[in-house]
């Protein structure tokens, strides 16, 4: 099988199966590995150094194990590539909150959104819940879909002893992302120990976030009938209006596509912050915007699959019926 066929099967599996709660997902195993290394290394005085050692060990072990899994059979490679994608699970989170809001149960909606965001949810109204849900979908469209897809296709171009590095690259990215989500915080505990993990995550998301914001989301917006010019305009204007060096890129394109304004007054740990705004406030947030957001996310994932597959075929010479290697 050609790699784009292999990845196409993995992509479809994700759309069908998502992330079943009963399944011991590889990311959970990576999380356990991080916990083991943290318990072992956190006690050392030079926390930046040993936090960096932990990050390198976790990413390295994940990559090596993934290489040997891919070496066993193409079936295992497909299966584990599927687990690196979160298209359906990300969409399902939005759908769940949308359905709760439709029932009018605001307290349950607050509880559901609290599982997705770190901001305070107790005092949220419906508009803030919708905004938080859509911002999460926009940001995680890179972390959960486009970035692992990008690294899988990048790794597929490199062969080691007849085995492509698609799975090691994609799963290695998931290790990077998991490290950042567990220790990449600027609080007293992790400001030093998690510094390397946070910086590596910023580096690994640098290219995918810009590809998503500049190319994939505007194309998806065009294909879903909302045009490509506004997402591009807001992307170039507002992509840096974010504390993260990468998150603002997909969020700006999403805001432009949906005609919404992200950012503004947000509460974290009992304190209110005025976040820079992203997008123009053409309309107020409404429940139906959640459905529009996850449709845009799905289309973005599909556009990414097609474009990365075409680039892969061009590089390999397969698009013209030729094979260069």
The tens digit of pLDDT for each residue in 200-226 reads 999 999 999 999 999 999 999 999 999
pLDDT of residue 228: 95
Do the Cβ atoms of 87 and 298 come closer than 8 Å? yes
Percent of the chain past pLDDT 70, that is, above it, reads: 98
Return the closest-CA partner of residue 250 out of 173, 137, 153, 152: 137
Return the closest-CA partner of residue 221 out of 143, 302, 276: 302
Residue-wise pLDDT for 123-173, tens only, equals 889 999 999 999 999 999 999 999 999 999 999 999 999 999 999 999 999
Task: Tell me which of 41-50, 108-117, 227-236, 255-264 is least confident.
Answer: 108-117
Q: What are phi and psi of 273, to 5 degrees?
A: -125, 145
In the 8-state DSSP scheme, what is residue 278? Answer: E
pLDDT of residue 267: 75
pLDDT of residue 137: 95
More confident residue, 271 or 244: 244
What value does the mean pLDDT take over residues 318-323?
62
β-bridge partners, 163? 160
Neighbours of 210 (CB within 10 A): 16
Take residue 191 and report the two structure tokens written for it: 């400001």
pLDDT of residue 41: 97
Q: Is 24 helix (H, G, I), strand (E, B) or coil?
A: coil
88-109 burial, b at 16+ Cβ within 10 Å, e below that, comes to: bbbbebbebbbebbeeeeeeeb
2's CB contacts (< 8 A; 6+ apart) are: 313, 318
Residue-wise pLDDT for 61-116, tens only, equals 999 999 999 999 999 999 999 999 999 999 999 999 999 999 999 999 999 999 88
Instruction: State the DSSP string of 107-164.
Output: HHHHHHHHTT-SS--TT--HHHHHHHHHHHHHHHHIIIIIHHHHHHHHHTT-EETTEE
pLDDT of residue 320: 61
Neighbours of 313 (CB within 10 A): 15
pLDDT(243) > 60: yes
pLDDT(58) > 60: yes
Take residue 242 and report the two structure tokens written for it: 């974010």
pLDDT of residue 48: 97
115-153 burial, b at 16+ Cβ within 10 Å, e below that, comes to: ebbebbbeebeeebbbbbbbbbbbbbbbbbbbbbbbbbb
- H or E segment and range at residue 271: strand 271-278
Nearest-angstrom CA–CA distance, 264 and 274: 5
| C-alpha distances in Å from residue 52, one per residue of 173, 245, 246, 281, 317 | 16, 20, 21, 42, 39
| C-alpha distances in Å from residue 207, one per residue of 7, 55, 138, 181, 202 | 20, 20, 16, 19, 10
| C-alpha distances in Å from residue 246, one per residue of 42, 141, 203, 238 | 28, 12, 9, 12
pLDDT of residue 323: 54
Residue-wise pLDDT for 25-49, tens only, equals 999 999 999 999 999 999 999 999 9
Do the Cβ atoms of 78 and 9 come closer than 8 Å? yes
Nearest-angstrom CA–CA distance, 166 and 271: 43
Take residue 244 and report the two structure tokens written for it: 């993260």
Instruction: State the DSSP string of 148-161.
Output: HHHHHHHHTT-EET
């Amino acid at each position: 099988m050609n790699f784009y066929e292999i990845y196409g099967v993995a992509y479809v599996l994700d759309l069908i199966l998502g992330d079943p709660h009963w399944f011991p997902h590889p990311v959970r195993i990576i999380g356990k590995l991080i916990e083991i290394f943290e318990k072992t290394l956190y006690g050392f005085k030079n926390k930046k150094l040993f936090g960096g050692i932990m990050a390198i060990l976790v990413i390295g072990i994940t990559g090596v194990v993934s290489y040997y899994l891919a070496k066993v059979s193409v079936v295992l490679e497909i299966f584990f590539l599927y687990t690196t994608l979160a298209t359906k699970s990300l969409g399902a989170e939005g759908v769940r909150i949308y359905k709760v809001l439709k029932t009018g149960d605001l307290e349950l909606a607050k509880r559901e959104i609290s599982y997705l965001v770190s901001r305070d949810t107790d005092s949220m109204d419906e508009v803030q819940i919708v905004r938080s849900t859509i911002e999460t979908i926009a940001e995680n469209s890179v972390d959960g879909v486009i970035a692992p897809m990008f690294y899988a296709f990048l790794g597929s171009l490199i062969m080691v002893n007849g085995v492509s590095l698609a799975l090691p690259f994609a799963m290695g990215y998931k290790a990077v992302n998991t490290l950042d989500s567990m220790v990449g915080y600027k609080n007293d505990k992790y400001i030093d120990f998690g510094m390397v993990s946070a910086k590596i995550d910023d580096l690994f998301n640098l290219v995918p976030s810009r590809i998503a914001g500049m190319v994939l989301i505007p194309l998806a917006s065009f294909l879903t009938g909302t045009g490509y010019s506004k997402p591009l305009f807001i992307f170039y204007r507002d992509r840096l209006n974010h504390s993260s060096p990468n998150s603002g890129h997909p969020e700006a394109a999403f805001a432009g596509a949906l005609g919404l304004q992200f950012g503004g007054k947000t509460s974290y740990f009992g304190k209110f912050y005025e976040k820079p705004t992203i997008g123009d406030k053409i309309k107020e947030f409404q429940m139906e915007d959640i459905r529009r957001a996850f449709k845009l996310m799905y289309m973005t994932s599909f556009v990414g699959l097609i474009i990365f597959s075409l680039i892969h075929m061009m590089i390999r010479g397969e698009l013209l019926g030729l094979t260069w290697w």
